[in-house]
A and B are shown apart, each in its own frame.
Chain A
C-alpha cells in the first residue's frame, strides 16, 4: 500500500509518501496563494524524490487549512485528526499533541491514536508561528535564530499584550530601552508558551506530550512550554510533517 498525505498550511505545504508503514520521503515548501498549484507542485516534487509515478500512489489524503483546494485528493481530513494519527504513528504512547502551526495552534487529547478532545486558538495569532515570525522580523532575526538565542537569555522580559500587533510595538519599545535581544526573545517565547499552556490545561495534559508543527523546532518555545507544563515534551525528528504523515497513514487504512 502506497499513500500520500498533503498538508496545506497557512505558511508552508508538506507532503509525505508512505509505503507499508514506512516513510519513503517528504517535502516542505512555502505555501503560495495558489493553493491548488502549491499542492500539485509539492506532490510532484515528493514523487520525484522517492522515484515513484503518480499512478503508483493508491490514496491521496489532503489536510490543513487549504485541504479543500486539493481537488486531486481522494479524501480530505482535518489537521486535528491527522496530527493525532501522525503523532501516534511516530510515538505510540502519545496522549497529548500540541501543534503550533503558522496561524493555528491546537492541543489535542489522544487515546490510542484517536482524538478524544481538542482546543484551538481563536481569532488571534498570538500563540502561533506567525507571532514568532512577526517578532523575529521586528528584531531583525532569521526565524531559525530565534530559539537558540532565547536559550542565552539571562532574564525574560514580560510581553503583556495578547495582541500580536501590540506585542510588536512592545518589543520595539524594549529595544529602544536598550534591553538585550536574547532577553526580549525569551519573553516572546514565554508569551507563546503561556497561551499554549492555558489551552493545554483546558484539554488536560496526559503523557506523552508530543510537540508538532513548525514552532516545535524553536528551542526557546519548547523550553518555555516544558517549564510551564512541568513535564517534558517529545519532539519528532521532523515535527513539521506530522499532519501530512497522519494524512498518509489515514490514506493507507
Chain B
C-alpha cells in the first residue's frame, strides 16, 4: 500500500500537540463530539481521551492499560476507550507519559451516554468540575426546540468556563476560531472526497491515520494548514495517476470505528484481494452531513453538534450510508460490529437491510485486541469478496 507522506507530518504535529498540553494553564478533558471551538476561543487546552485511546490501541497496548481499570472493577463490557483512559489514570502513565491533569471536564453525549458516566468517574478521581452538555437524540427532524435546549446549555457552558478561567469570552475570538474550524472541516472533507477518483488515491486507512488533527485541533491554524497539505498531496496523486493500492478491483466502504491495533493487517488483507476501502462512516462524520441553517455562531454550533452521526435515528444513518455508497461508487460495505461502541453497532443489522449494496458484519473491538479472532474475520471477509 502506498501510504501518504503526510502521515509523517501528522505524527510531528500530534507529538507537538501532546507536548503543549503539559504547559497549558487551563486544560479540559473533552469528548470527541464536543464543541471544542468554545475551548480554543477561551484559551483552554483540550485533551482528548478518545484520541489517546486510539493511540493506545494502535500501540497494541489496549488490554495492558485496560487491565488497570478492570482490576478496580470496571467491566470488560465497558467501552475500551473509557477503560484505557481510566486505566492510564490508575497506572499513572501511558504511551505518551499519561495525559496532563484536567482543570475541568467537558462531556457531550452526542456520541454516546457512556461518556457521562466515564467523565463522572474522572470528576471523582481528579476532584474537578464536570460540565455535561446534554444533546437531545434526533430521531427524525431537528426542531427549533432541540436547538434552543442546546443553545441554552452552550451559554451556560461559556459562563462555566468564564468562572474557571476568570476571563470573559471574546465573541470576535470565537468567531475567528469558528471560521478556522469550518475551514479545516471543509478541507478535510475535500481530502476524503478525493477517494471518489477511480482508482482512489487514498484508502480509509489513510483517513483514519490522519484524522487526529480534525478531532483535536479543529479551530486552530494547525488543522487548516495540515489538511491543505494533505489535499495537495492527494491532488498530486490524482494528477500523476498514483493509486493507493496496486490493483483496485473492488471499492468498499467501512462502517464504525477502526480496529486500531490491526490497521496494517486489514490494509494488507484488502490489498491482497484487490479491494480498496475508499471511504468510511467514521471519518466522514467529522465533515458534517448537512448544511448549517443558522447564521448565529452559537446556534450553528448547536446545530452542527446536535445532528452528529451517532445522535440520529437509524433511518437517517442508513440514508447517509447510502449517500456515501452512491458518492464513492462502492461495491460493498464492511461493517465492524464494535464491542466497545454500542450506539455505533446496535443498529447495524437493521441498517444492513436498508443498504443499496451487499454488506458483511465482522465482530471485533476498536482497542481491545482480546476481542479479535483473525481466522473468523478473514473467513467472513474472504467469503464476502467471493460473493461480490
Contacts and interface: CB of A to CB of B under 8 A. Distances in A.
A62 to B, nearest CB: 12
Nearest to B381: A78
A151 interface: no
Interface residues on B, range: 10 to 19
A65 interface: yes
Interface in B357-388: 358, 363, 371, 373, 375-376, 379-380, 382-383, 386-387
Interface string B24-51: 0000000000000000000000000000
B376 A80 contact: no
B363 A123 contact: yes
A80 B383 contact: yes
A115 B387 contact: yes
B323 interface: no
A78 B363 contact: no
A126 B377 CA distance: 18
Interface string A45-64: 00000000000000000000
B363 A122 contact: yes
B386 A77 contact: yes
Contact of B383 (A65, A81, A123): A81
B349 interface: yes
Contacts of B358: 116-117
Nearest to A116: B387
Contact of A78 (B349, B371, B373, B383): B383
Contacts of A120: 376, 379-380
A162 B371 CA distance: 18
Contacts of A81: 383, 386-387
B349 A80 contact: no
A118 interface: yes
If over half of B's interface residues share one DSSP class (helix, strand or loop), that class is named, otherwise mixed; here it is helix
Main secondary structure of the interface of A (DSSP, over half): mixed
Interface string B119-144: 00000000000000000000000000
Given A117-B358, A123-B373, A202 B349 contact: yes
A78 B376 contact: no
A188 B363 CA distance: 26
Contacts of A116: 358, 387
Given A117-B358, A202-B349, A122 B376 contact: yes
B379 A115 contact: no
Interface in A63-104: 65, 77-81, 104
Most buried by A among B373, B380, B387: B387
B222 to A, nearest CB: 41
A122 B338 CA distance: 13
A38 B349 CA distance: 38
Q: Kindly name the residue among A77, A79, A117 whose own CB sees the greatest number of chain B CB atoms within 10 A.
A: A117
A217 B380 CA distance: 25
B382 A78 contact: yes
Nearest to B385: A78
A131 B371 CA distance: 21
A207 B380 CA distance: 24
Nearest to B373: A123
Nearest to B358: A117
Given A65-B375, A122-B376, A123-B373, A115 B383 contact: yes
Nearest to B337: A122
Nearest to A120: B380
A17 B358 CA distance: 33
Contacts of B375: 65
A73 B383 CA distance: 18
A105 to B, nearest CB: 12
A154 B39 CA distance: 69
B47 to A, nearest CB: 34
14 contacts: A65-B379, A78-B379, A78-B386, A79-B383, A114-B387, A115-B383, A117-B387, A118-B387, A120-B376, A120-B380, A122-B363, A122-B376, A123-B371, A123-B373
Interface of A: 65, 77-81, 104, 114-118, 120, 122-123, 202
Given A78-B386, A81-B387, A120-B380, 20 more contacts: A77-B386, A79-B383, A80-B379, A81-B386, A104-B376, A114-B387, A115-B386, A115-B387, A116-B358, A117-B358, A117-B387, A118-B383, A120-B376, A120-B379, A122-B363, A122-B376, A123-B363, A123-B373, A123-B376, A202-B349
